[in-house]
Every structure is written in structure tokens, then in C-alpha cells.
Structure 1
Amino acid sequence: MNFIVEKKSPYDLKTTIERFKALLPSQGFGVLWELNFKDKLSEKGFELQDNFWVFEVCNPSKADKVLNEWIKTGYFLPCKMAAYEQDGEVFIGLPRPVELIALLTPDDLLRSYAEEVEMALTDIIDKVVSEEEVNI
């Protein structure tokens, strides 16, 4: 099984990110923090060829459940997602929460929470790259 869920976007990077941010609330998520590695590395005197954005996203209800079940899940929170350009193509994805939690514990309840989060975020990615209209 792949450790990463990733889809190619038919949109430019700016539109892909706008669609992503607009769709997050539909599943109870929001962006807590974001970083454009290209800009940050440029500030430090380095040159990254393509834009690579990282987003930390959170669904407070789900975070509350997993943290109260086992505090060490906080090592994986918030969920990290990325959107980037490479060779003229745009991609969006995330490391799979189910695979991350399996690294720490075989606990079935935590796995079920991770599955819920993964399904929700994968649904968002599917909608980002679809032709479905999104209110931005």
C-alpha cells in the first residue's frame, strides 16, 4: 500500500490551493498553518525550482477524540498536506493517516479514527481535482 495519497490536478497551483482551502470546511477541517518552501528557501539564499506548499490542517472534533484516546497521536497532528508543481504539472496529497498511526500502535479504535480522517481528506482531494464547481 502507498504511504502517500496523491492526485494530479488539472488546475494551476493557485487554483488547486484555492479549491483545497474552500473544500476543507465541508469535512470540518481548516488550515492552521501554511508554508511555501520555494519562498522560504529563497529568503535563505537557496533556490527551489518549483513551488511546494505545505499545509497543516485540523478537524478539532477528530483531534480531540484521538488525543484523549492516546496523547502520543499528537506527534502526527495536525495532518500535513501538500500541493506542488513539477515539470509543469500540479499535484496535491498527504501522508496516509492510517499508515502513520500504524507506525505507533495497532489500536483498532485509533485506526478507525485515522480511517475517518483519511477518507475525509481523500474525498477533499478528489473534489479538488474534479470538474465539480467549487465556491472559492
Structure 2
Amino acid sequence: MGYTIQKTVFGDFDQVVETTIDALKDDGFGVLCDINVQTTLKEKLGEEFRQYRILGACNPALAHEGLNEDIELGTLLPCNVIVYETNDGGIVVSAVDPHRLLDVADNDALDSIANEVHDRFEHVLASVADELDSPSEA
């Protein structure tokens, strides 16, 4: 069983990242961190790597609700969304599946939050694909 939900699109990498950030914002998420893995690996290890970004996404209202249910939930936040190049010229936009992520908390009170985040991430991915006119399942 996978632990992400994703779409593959085609286009300019930086445009896909910006479109993803905009779609997250439209669905109530802020991007708390933006890690450029390609740059980091080059600087720290001298290694070449494909374009790859990790976006730490957080919906403050849902995070607040979750933290009120389980104070340790902060160890699982923010939810990561990644954007990376494929070998065939595509660009994958992938979000952690909140159901799988929150399964580790073993707290049924978090199920409704997982459902809400999952629905919003599905909407974000569909919005990115629609905006770039390249919808396909990965």
C-alpha cells in the first residue's frame, strides 16, 4: 500500500512548483518550508541530483484541531508535498497520504482531520493538473 497521493504533469519545473504552492494556498495551506534537495545535495555532498523540492504544507486550523486531540501530533507536522522530475520528462507532484501518516498516532479522533486533509490534497493535485493541462495518475 502506498503512502502518497500524486499526479504527474508536464511543463516547466519552477512553474509546477509555483502552481503547487498557489493551489495549496487556495486550499488553506501555507508552505512553512521549501527545501531544494538538488541544491542541498550539491552543496553538502557534491552530488548531482534531479530537481526535487520538499514543501512543508500546513493548514493552521486543522493543525490546531489535531494538536488539541493529540499534543504529540506536532512530530508529524507539517505534511510534506514533493515536486520532482521523472526520467521521462514528467514532473510528479506528490503529497503524503494523511490517512497513512496519522495511522501511526493510533487515535480515532484524528480520522476526521485525516479525511479533510486527504480531500484537500486531492483537490490541490487536481488543481495543479488542471492548471497545467496535463492530468494523469502516477
Q: Please give the TM-score of this superposition, normalised by the length of structure 2.
A: 0.88
2:38–2:48 contact (8 Å) kept in structure 1: yes
What's 1:115 paired with?
A: 115
SS in 2 for 1:50: coil
Contact between 1:11 and 1:129, CA under 8 Å: does it hold in 2? no
Query: Which residue pairs with 2:24 in the alignment?
Result: 24
Output the CA distance in 2 between the equivalents of 1:23 and 1:89.
19
SS at match of 1:65: helix
Q: How far apart, in 2, do the equivalents of 1:52 and 1:60 lie?
A: 25
- Rounded to whole Å, the distance in 1 between the matches of 2:69 and 2:23 is 28
2:41–2:49 Cα contact (<8 Å) kept: no
Which residue in the other structure is 1:13 paired with? 13
Secondary structure (helix, strand or coil) at the match of 1:49 reads coil
Aligned counterparts of 1:95 and 1:78: Cα–Cα separation in 2 = 10
Structure 1 counterpart of 2:120, which letter? A
Give the 3 Å change call, closer, same or farther, for CA 78–131 of structure 1 in structure 2.
closer
Aligned to 1:37: 37
Identity of counterpart residues, as a percentage? 30
State the number of aligned residues. Answer: 132
Shift of the alpha carbon at 1:131?
4.0
TM (norm. structure 1) is 0.89
CA RMSD of aligned residues (A): 1.6
Q: Which runs of 5+ in 2 are unaligned?
A: 134-138
Query: Gaps (5+ residues) in structure 1?
Result: none
Aligned to 2:94: 93
Question: Cα offset for 1:114?
Answer: 1.0
2:57 paired residue number: 57
Give the corresponding residue for 1:68. Answer: 68
**What amino acid does structure 1 have at the position aligned with 2:8?**
K
Q: Which aligned segments of 4 or more residues in structure 1 are displaced greater than 2 angstroms?
A: none
Q: What whole-Å deviation, never above 9, does each CA across 1:80-107 have from its counterpart, x for those lacking one?
A: 11000021221001121111111221x3
